[in-house]
Structure 1
Amino acid sequence: MTSKILAVDTATENCSVALKVGNDIIARCEIAPREHTTKILPMVDSVLSEAGLTLSQLDALAFGRGPGSFTGVRIGIGIAQGLAFGADLPMVGVSTLAAMAQQAYRRKGAQHVLSTIDARMNEIYVGGYQRLDNGDWTNVVEEAVLPPEMFKPDCGEGEWYVAGTGWQAYPELTSQLQLSVTESGVLYPESEDMLILAHHAFERGEAVDAENASPVYLRDTVAWKKLPGRE
């Protein structure tokens, strides 16, 4: 892997930045709810300084495209677009759910992963992934947002690892799957793992200009109780 790619992610409670140059990865990561806007740029400066590089020397900028918190996803893509515009870099969006699958592989050697994120409002973001021989991942359970009781994927056989906060928020999930699962210990996505996915996407020609980078919320509308007299 020779591409020089910077990845940033603020889609969940975790705030992270990572830079890959050749076989070297420099990463910063901190659980910092509501502090992403003050943490992320110093992290970017730190990894670039350690590598002795400037933004303009990179090949692409990757970002956590979601799903996750609406505010977190917007912060991440906004900061990533600002950096990419300034340095004239193409952008690559990476699924936060898929990034957790890669993290489960990095930590546990997982080849099949079911990722969930607590989406609040009694819903979860879900996705299932299988690792390919080239180190990339294929989506075998479509990414979606749904009530926990409706998550009953047809995963087939094999050893499946689980990752993300959804399993913690809804412990009953594992009992309804009808397959044996193993805990990965992964709760949040990290930019370090987005680099792998971003590299494959970049090699496939999936990078876009900064103005065309877009988030993936999965939940496009937020339901709330209307006040009397309001439409």
Structure 2
Amino acid sequence: MARILALDTSTEACSVALKLGDEVIEDFRLLPRQHTQLLLPMIQQILADAGTTLQQLDAIAFTNGPGSFTGLRITTGVAQGLAFGADLPLVPISTLETMALTQHREHFSHYILSALDARMGEVYWAAYHWNGSGFDCLMQPAVTAPDRVELTSDLEADWVGVGSGWQLFDQFSPVLQSQLLQIYPDTLPRAGDIARLGEQYWLQGAAVAPELAQPVYLRDNVAHKKGEAGHGA
């Protein structure tokens, strides 16, 4: 068991969690455009409530993307600063895999198509299969128009869709729509499941030094995308 602090500001939600052995403590809030002001106080409060310090942890897990460009920069910067100060490694976690774990944990789904609204008529998406102890990524994270999202494996499985990208359900292809058993469009990344994945990856040796942690935007020319800077931050 590891002691993991987890952070996320990749969407309109802001969440912080601590995994201390079997216990997961989470503070999840919908706080559009308040992440910068509230993330550090939320971290300080959850550590104080648990009676622990950064120096007593094993690692910090954080969502490295995809998601809001500003939100990803906030999470990465705060995670790096805390990790440097406490001499801790970082564990980067995909927002899309995080939502898949939430879906599996709450609904026991095994085939999950995660999608986040990427704005500008596109979605971030990836496909996952729960293998009994973790996820196999069947389709790597990508950004495309909804009608270009397609499944190429395990087509007869009971697929479900999770994440804000499915609020654009009518824009996905009729073929894909027919392959989905159900959609859960209101699910957002949660720090509690980032902490659970963070422990798993930390135990597998997937932690990195703070200076090597980078956001995964999936889109090129990030700074030029009008209207994205404030999304979720």
Alpha-carbon distance in 2 for matches of 1:171, 1:131? 27
Partner of residue 89, structure 2: 90
Q: Give the Cα–Cα distance (whole angstroms) in 1 for the partners of residues 85 and 225 of structure 2.
A: 38
Q: Distance in 1 between matches of 2:170 and 2:189?
A: 20
Structure 1 residue 23 displacement after superposition: 0.7
**Quick one: distance in 2 between partners of 1:150 and 1:40?**
35
Change (3 A) 1:4 1:224: closer
Structure 1 residue 169 corresponds to structure 2 residue 168: yes
Q: Deviations over 1:17-75 (max 9, x none)?
A: 01000111110001111100111111111211121100000000000100001000000
Q: Of the two structures, which has the highest relative contact order with CA contacts closer than 8 Å and spacing of 6 or more? A: 2
* Change in 2 beyond 3 A, CA 1:150/1:174: closer
Report the TM-score, using the length of structure 2 for normalisation. 0.91
Counterpart amino acid of residue 190 in structure 1: R
Q: Which residue of 2 aligns with 1:197?
A: 197
SS in 2 for 1:138: strand
Which of 121, 142, 152 is residue 150 of structure 2 equivalent to? 152
* Residue identity in the other structure for 1:24: E
Q: Is the 8 A contact 1:162 1:182 kept in 2?
A: yes
User: In structure 1, what is the equivalent of residue 27 of structure 2?
Assistant: 28
Conserved in 1, the CA contact under 8 Å of 2:164 and 2:185? no
Residues 147, 140 of structure 1: alpha-carbon distance in 2 compared, 3 angstrom cutoff: same
Hey, what does 2:231 align to over in structure 1?
Answer: none
**CA RMSD between the two structures:** 1.6
Distance 2:183 2:149 in 1: 17
* SS of the residue 1:142 aligns to: strand
Structure 2's unaligned 5+ residue stretches are 227-233
SS in 2 for 1:171: helix
State the match for 1:229 in structure 2.
Answer: none
Q: How far off is 1:133 after superposition?
A: 1.7
Unaligned runs of 5+ in 1: 226-231
Q: Distance in 1 between matches of 2:135 and 2:129?
A: 6
1:81-105 per-position Cα deviation (integer Å, ceiling 9, x unaligned): 1111110100000000000000101
Distance 1:43 1:88 in 2: 21
